[in-house]
Amino acid sequence: MTSPDQTTLLEMQRRMLRIRRFDERASKMVKRGQIPGTVHTSIGQEAQVVGAAMTLDDGDYMTGNHRSHGHPIAKGSPLAPLMAELVGKAGGVCGGKGGSLHLADFKVGSLGESGIVGSSIPIATGAALSSKVLGNGKVSMAFFGDGAANQGCLYEAMNLAGVWDLPVVFLCENNQYALSTPAHTVTSGVIAERAAGFGIAGERVEDGQDVLAVHAAAQAAVERARSGGGPTLLEVVTYRYNEHSEGLRLGTDYRNAEEKETWVGRDPIAQFRRHLAQEGVATEEELDALEQEVLDEVEQAFEFSQESPYPEPEVAFADLYTEPIGA
Amino acid sequence: MTSPDQTTLLEMQRRMLRIRRFDERASKMVKRGQIPGTVHTSIGQEAQVVGAAMTLDDGDYMTGNHRSHGHPIAKGSPLAPLMAELVGKAGGVCGGKGGSLHLADFKVGSLGESGIVGSSIPIATGAALSSKVLGNGKVSMAFFGDGAANQGCLYEAMNLAGVWDLPVVFLCENNQYALSTPAHTVTSGVIAERAAGFGIAGERVEDGQDVLAVHAAAQAAVERARSGGGPTLLEVVTYRYNEHSEGLRLGTDYRNAEEKETWVGRDPIAQFRRHLAQEGVATEEELDALEQEVLDEVEQAFEFSQESPYPEPEVAFADLYTEPIGA
Amino acid sequence: MATTTMSFLGAIGAAQREAMEADERVVIIGEDVEANVYGTTGGGKSRKDKGDFLELFGANRIRNTPISEEVIVGAAAGAAMTGLRPIVDLSYSSFLYMAMDQFVNQVAKNRYMFGGQASLPVVFRSAMFYGLSTGAHHSDRPYPMFMNVPGLKIMVPSTPADAKGLLRTAVDMDDPVLTFEACMLWGLKGEVEEDEYRIPFGQAAIAREGTDVTVVAIATAVPEALKAAETLAEDGVSVEVIDPRTLVPLDSRTILESVAKTGRLVVADPAHRTCSAAAEIAAIVVEEAFDSLKAPIARVTTPDTQIPFSPAIEKPLYPNRESIGEAIRRVTGERGASVPESPQGIDDELSTQAHR
Amino acid sequence: MATTTMSFLGAIGAAQREAMEADERVVIIGEDVEANVYGTTGGGKSRKDKGDFLELFGANRIRNTPISEEVIVGAAAGAAMTGLRPIVDLSYSSFLYMAMDQFVNQVAKNRYMFGGQASLPVVFRSAMFYGLSTGAHHSDRPYPMFMNVPGLKIMVPSTPADAKGLLRTAVDMDDPVLTFEACMLWGLKGEVEEDEYRIPFGQAAIAREGTDVTVVAIATAVPEALKAAETLAEDGVSVEVIDPRTLVPLDSRTILESVAKTGRLVVADPAHRTCSAAAEIAAIVVEEAFDSLKAPIARVTTPDTQIPFSPAIEKPLYPNRESIGEAIRRVTGERGASVPESPQGIDDELSTQAHR
Ligand SMILES: Cc1ncc(C[n+]2csc(CCOP(=O)(O)OP(=O)(O)O)c2C)c(N)n1
Ligand SMILES: Cc1ncc(C[n+]2csc(CCOP(=O)(O)OP(=O)(O)O)c2C)c(N)n1
Ligand SMILES: [Mg+2]
Ligand SMILES: [Mg+2]
């Protein structure tokens, strides 16, 4: 296992920034009524997302969940079609038919985010099965939350992947809450420790705000998968800064202000920027430039999302089958 | 924890014998076309079934699966209505509407066997929930096989029971095969060890042919449940002598003759009879008499099953709702 | 009879509160019910004035669950079989599939299979979030598939008063009930009796009387059909609008009597077309009232496509006043003035709809 | 065209073998497929002569699974999205509920939601064991609920030849297909072309031509309708029997043309009545062929009850030659001689049906 080179380190920061700025912009757009429905941001969880996804090769597969923008962004998907998708435009990555909850960019191996909690875990497992049968060496990664870790399909998937040695990584983003529900009130035992009973590798990354820690653990899991060592359940402890979804206002205070402050104090992007500067990977100027580049990218994505037309009415009937089946 | 008294020991043998003779008769009846469809016998697994079920109080709950006769018998359900149910008669415990796969005897706390593998585990968990909410001290036991242990709902149930400390025992009857499929080929890890990751107690009873070993382990689990200590996953290693279901003829030899011989050599009923005689719990004559009593009971059950009439046609439409809802 | 104004969602909350107060065996089970995320379990800390269910009834009866629909549904069934009367909040109807085996193989079958030994007094609430740009995973209207499962009862109220009265009946009943609440109706206000009351299952409401054509409408199609009827009245077409309120049992008698009078039938149903409730109602009428029929039956449904996210293409998919009006014209042969355009959605008061 | 005699089940097995031989990406996934428990994956050790799939194709392509329907279905979908063409054997149709979320939210929606990026060449086989005293948990005929889910294709063959030809087409297709095989038909023998062939989806078969009444029949109702038609022919009633063969897409044109000719329709469908395929077909006809209809449409379905175990009360529930014949008489006004009694079930050759 090699540690990431300079280019990779800078790319990590770039992708984390992309997620942060993209989601900040999306949040603003929801408030302004520029996005129908809502979105779930990954703000605060960038290290966990990027550290994991950047261990994958271009041809590798990935599935995600409702907290959905970070995954394809971390896998290298261009921002403009993603942003246009949130707005429901024809130029969206799914032609406007998916929206925030159902982003997918097959070109980069993103097989789809899922609005149904837990539901995409079997899909990722199946992608790993096809890698195994075809012997093409591809690895598959399923992203899901601490809440999803109580869906039975995860354990069916872990067992199947275990008996068949499928090249899949089950990546649990434990941001400690499922909507309003604290994980510890609905989770018996420790998620990562559930791996052992299913005969597969399990690990808990306690500092999910440290992109390098996440990367190292994920890399070990991906290498294990690719080399025929079978699946891994990786639990990464992290935190979301925003409400469960943008625009949601709950009457209850299920998280306290103090807790949030502590986590913001350990911001993954700020931390990693300090690290990059200290280690001489980049100068402050270079890091400033990087920030600006990402801001520009997001701005361009926003513009694209505004200019792209809405889909034509007949699009509602396309893509249901390979060919329309008639009335 | 007290060890079973003499009466209990003899009752264990009686119930094991009831299962054996009942199932032997049922098997014969299938061959003779006296039972429509098929049945799944528990022959060979009597110690596991009886040892577990006899730790329950009369008011306690139980659910089961397709290997279904042993559970209610072990819980004290009278044989005649069970036998009549297998034949589809009006005097059956479910009025002929359930059949072998769907025996239930609510009078003894048997909430139902399930033809769908795994599907009754949540039901037992719910019975434990009602005990908990109502504070009535009842315990619930879910019987299921090694095959069912790969259904996701088991893990949802273990987690829920874990966070809510529900008084439920998950009892996995590991007879080492699911239909034609050897457990080790489809099970990653060790079933009992899956408990730990869900923060609940787990234990594997290696000698499931020893009714006292099973009883001791199950008693500990039931006491834990009843005293608020939460759920347990108990895996009991055992063996079925017959084919998966009566009348089934597979082209393939997924179990070898030698294996079966070894297990028959450790027959739970023969073993326990020797134990009872050696320990002076009963004389050989008393044990012979017991065997005869059970044979008579089964004979009477058979006669009842033959004499009981078939249900009237309108029964097909009763019990769907509390009251018929009309066309 | 004194009444008070209530939203649809408020009526659901009020029914739940009354039921909880009336019977200790009633418990609420579901994801995020403790924090009242969906607005039917009272306050939450900063909404104390409205009555926090957790404070009122305690954590023993307000059961916040893991995200485990299969065991939630099965456990509620098992609890119902052993003495509780659970109300399960499954939030979105699109999540019911997760527990389909429990619904079909346990909830619907246990009383029957066990020859009447099991009783299942349990209510499964869920809401259909169609028309709100939530995309294909959250917009389903799956009641037709549950109608095909004997043993379940199904309510689809379209007014606050019906929602409250039917839900009370549902909780009282020893049969399992599924509610399908159209989220677009949650904010709808209406008059509700102040005293406790119950509405029986299997009794349709005649939402508007008329003589030329019968429109049977479900969920959001009810207010839309009423709008269409209003407009068509101006053209001299007299439309009778029937809201079945419960789909199982279905009050086919009221429908057949209406068709006997009008001779014409439009069924407006937001479900997908094939094997929809509309299909069933059309089939019943052509079987049992063929001689009364003067024209083809018209179904106005959501077409057989999945639900796209983009509002530009989602909104037109569901039955609305135009499509219903057009169908009425078709079966009556009337070519009157066009009906007014639908607004983008029925108004609502809820911020909490935006989370999924 | 040379033909050979094959059982329905043999035809399924032959189609699977041809498909496996034709394309390396075709794999078989399911419980007990290795040991050929259900008889469609070749030999098993002592049946080598028939061709053991495990030996022919190896364990990489014959995948014996744990009992985990949800992940089996989802994994097959994921595999299909990434280059395989799985045939999934789910054995009993009653087990599909376990994977309902995967069917509805992934299999049916992924191509659509992702704007056409996903392709899902996957076939889910299952058999309906109704009429065989298997009780409520194993006797379901759930195709109507899947018909309500846009994005799935559904085949319900009633002859060996159709089973084989449709299954080959299904495997070739890039859309997900569900098969519903009536187990009572598994033993049915019929002539099957020796050369490879495919039957297109969406083309009904006219199983018998007639002029007085159209009977659309599904699964076991097809042979039963043919028997009824035979008997009624003696009374001078000319019955046209149509087997849709695929329910999605449904060949409504053939049905409508037939009704245009006969003016009368009976739909015989073993599913539960409410929201059945029969409801859909009746609705289509009353919408689109109203002017041709001379009599009420009659549905012959399984009534809305669950399936009891006792054969005494189970057998009469499904559409059979008597009930179909009676419906034909009703809509034609014919009062001829009674049709012969149904045997207890269609003969079959299979010992392996008895395991569940
Ligand atoms: C099957 C299902 N149940 C419930 C929901 C509603 N829901 C959406 S997100 C969510 C919380 C998910 O929590 P977690 O998995 O921890 O992800 P996070 O939002 O914390 O990233 C819930 C309950 C859903 N979308 N799907
Ligand atoms: C959901 C479901 N899947 C598959 C089946 C078919 N089936 C019935 S019993 C069985 C094997 C069960 O094995 P196990 O749980 O170990 O119980 P055993 O028969 O060994 O006692 C299978 C696959 C079923 N009834 N339900
Ligand atoms: Mg979370
Ligand atoms: Mg077993």
Q: Which of D275, D284, D305 to mutate to test the interface with C (most CBs of C within 10 A)?
A: D275
**How many Cβ contacts (< 8 angstroms) between chains B and D?**
169
Residues of B in contact with C77 (CB under 8 A): 122-123, 126
Residues of C in contact with B95 (CB under 8 A): 115-116
Supply the pLDDT for residue D51: 72
Does the pLDDT of residue C294 top 90, yes or no? yes
Chain mean pLDDT for chain A: 97
The verdict on the CB of residue C31 being under 6 Å from ligand 1 is yes
Atom of ligand 1 nearest to the CA of A174: 16
**Whether D88 contacts chain A with CB within 8 A:** no
User: What are the tokens at B41?
Assistant: 């016998």
Listed in sequence order, the DSSP H helices in A171-238 are 183-186, 194-197, 211-226
- Closest chain B residue to the Cα of C68, Cα to Cα: B156
Q: Is D272 a catalytic residue?
A: no
Count of other CB atoms within 10 angstroms of residue B253: 12
* Of B55, B53, B56, residue with least CA distance to B64: B53
For residue C221, give Cα distances in angstroms to C157, C226, C322, D34.
11, 8, 11, 51
DSSP SS3 for A181: strand
Position B253 confidence tier, pLDDT thresholds 50, 70, 90? confident
The mean pLDDT of C279-289, rounded to a whole number, is: 98
Written as tens digits, the pLDDT of chain D (356 aa) is 799 999 999 999 999 999 999 999 999 999 999 999 988 998 554 555 567 899 999 999 999 999 999 999 999 999 999 999 999 999 999 999 999 999 999 999 999 999 999 999 999 999 999 999 999 999 999 999 999 999 999 999 999 999 999 999 999 999 999 999 999 999 999 999 999 999 999 999 999 999 999 999 999 999 999 999 999 999 999 999 999 999 999 999 999 999 999 999 999 999 999 999 999 999 999 999 999 999 999 999 999 999 999 999 999 999 999 999 999 999 999 654 455 555 444 443 344 455 56
pLDDT tens digits for range B209-237? 999 999 999 999 999 999 999 999 999 99
Supply the pLDDT for residue C51: 72
The verdict on the CB of residue D95 being under 6 Å from ligand 2 is yes
pLDDT tens digits for range A16-66? 999 999 999 999 999 999 999 999 999 999 999 999 999 999 999 999 999
Supply the pLDDT for residue C334: 67
User: Who wins on pLDDT, A257 or D70?
Assistant: D70
Residues 6 or more apart whose Cβ sits within 8 Å of residue D356: B38, B40, B66, B101, B115, B245, D92, D129, D134, D138
Quote the DSSP letter at residue D42. Answer: B
Query: What are phi and psi for residue A127, nearest 5 degrees?
Result: -65, -40
| Helices and strands, number each (H, E), in chain D | 12, 14
Tell me the shortest Cα–Cα distance from D97 to chain C, in angstroms. 5
Supply the pLDDT for residue D344: 45
Position B273 confidence tier, pLDDT thresholds 50, 70, 90? very high
Residues in chain A, how many? 327
Position C50 confidence tier, pLDDT thresholds 50, 70, 90? low
Does the pLDDT of residue C347 top 60, yes or no? no
The mean pLDDT of A257-262, rounded to a whole number, is: 94
Residues of B in contact with D47 (CB under 8 A): 251-252
Q: In angstroms, what is the span from residue B204 Cα to ligand 4's centroid?
A: 15
CB atoms A122 and D252 under 8 Å: no
Chain mean pLDDT for chain C: 93
- Distance in angstroms (rounded) separating the CA atoms of residues B253 and D6: 26
Supply the pLDDT for residue B327: 52
Tell me the shortest Cα–Cα distance from C140 to chain A, in angstroms. 12
Note whether B239 and B67 are within 8 A (CB): no
The mean pLDDT of A206-216, rounded to a whole number, is: 98
ipTM of this complex prediction, to 2 decimal places:
0.97
Does the pLDDT of residue C287 top 90, yes or no? yes
User: What are the tokens at D29?
Assistant: 């996934």
Atom of ligand 1 nearest to the CA of A244: 19
Atom of ligand 2 nearest to the CA of B40: 19
**How many Cβ contacts (< 8 angstroms) between chains A and D?**
154
Q: In angstroms, what is the span from residue A254 Cα to ligand 3's centroid?
A: 13
Quote the DSSP letter at residue A111. Answer: E
- Distance in angstroms (rounded) separating the CA atoms of residues A63 and A53: 11
The mean pLDDT of A85-94, rounded to a whole number, is: 98
User: What are the tokens at D25?
Assistant: 């990406």
Q: Which residue do the tokens 């389903």 mark?
A: C140
Q: Which of C90, C97, C184, C313 to mutate to test the interface with A (most CBs of A within 10 A)?
A: C313
Position C199 confidence tier, pLDDT thresholds 50, 70, 90? very high
Among D97, D113, D150, beta carbon nearest to C104: D97
Q: Which of A179, A308, A319 to mutate to test the interface with C (most CBs of C within 10 A)?
A: A179
Residues of A in contact with C47 (CB under 8 A): 251-252
Does the pLDDT of residue C341 top 60, yes or no? no
The mean pLDDT of C290-297, rounded to a whole number, is: 98
Position A252 confidence tier, pLDDT thresholds 50, 70, 90? confident
Buried-state track D133-149, b at ≥16 Cβ within 10 A, e below 16: bbbbbbbbbbbbbbbbb
**Amino acid at residue number D63:** R
Going from the N-terminus, what domains does chain D have, and what CATH number goes with each? 3-193 (3.40.50.970), 205-355 (3.40.50.920)
Q: Where are the domains of chain A?
A: 6-314
Atom of ligand 2 nearest to the CA of B178: 13
pLDDT tens digits for range C307-324? 999 999 999 999 999 999
- Distance in angstroms (rounded) separating the CA atoms of residues D70 and A151: 11
Supply the pLDDT for residue D23: 98
Q: DSSP for B206-245?
A: S-TT-HHHHHHHHHHHHHHHHTT---EEEEEE----S-SS
CATH fold of A6-314: Rossmann fold (3.40.50)
Note whether C228 and C239 are within 8 A (CB): yes
Angle at C55 between CA C49 and CA C59, to 5 degrees: 150
Q: In angstroms, what is the span from residue C66 Cα to ligand 3's centroid?
A: 11
| Helices and strands, number each (H, E), in chain C | 12, 14
Q: What is the pTM of this model?
A: 0.97
The percentage of chain C sitting over the pLDDT mark of 70, rounded to a whole number, equals: 91
The verdict on the CB of residue B170 being under 6 Å from ligand 2 is no
The mean pLDDT of B140-168, rounded to a whole number, is: 98
For residue D72, give Cα distances in angstroms to A122, A125, D10, D92, D123.
8, 9, 24, 14, 12
Among D69, D304, D309, beta carbon nearest to B99: D309
| Helices and strands, number each (H, E), in chain B | 12, 7
- Distance in angstroms (rounded) separating the CA atoms of residues C133 and B259: 60
Say how many CA atoms lie within 13 Å of B267 toward its Cβ: 13
Residues of A in contact with B191 (CB under 8 A): 197
Note whether B102 and B115 are within 8 A (CB): yes
Count of other CB atoms within 10 angstroms of residue B141: 30
Supply the pLDDT for residue B256: 87
Nearest CA to ligand 1 atom 5: A117
pLDDT tens digits for range C2-44? 999 999 999 999 999 999 999 999 999 999 999 999 889 985 5
- Closest chain A residue to the Cα of C131, Cα to Cα: A37
Does the pLDDT of residue B40 top 70, yes or no? yes
Supply the pLDDT for residue C343: 46
**Whether D352 contacts chain B with CB within 8 A:** yes
Does the pLDDT of residue C298 top 50, yes or no? yes
Say how many CA atoms lie within 13 Å of B163 toward its Cβ: 22
**Whether C100 contacts chain A with CB within 8 A:** no
The percentage of chain A sitting over the pLDDT mark of 90, rounded to a whole number, equals: 96
- Distance in angstroms (rounded) separating the CA atoms of residues D170 and A178: 40
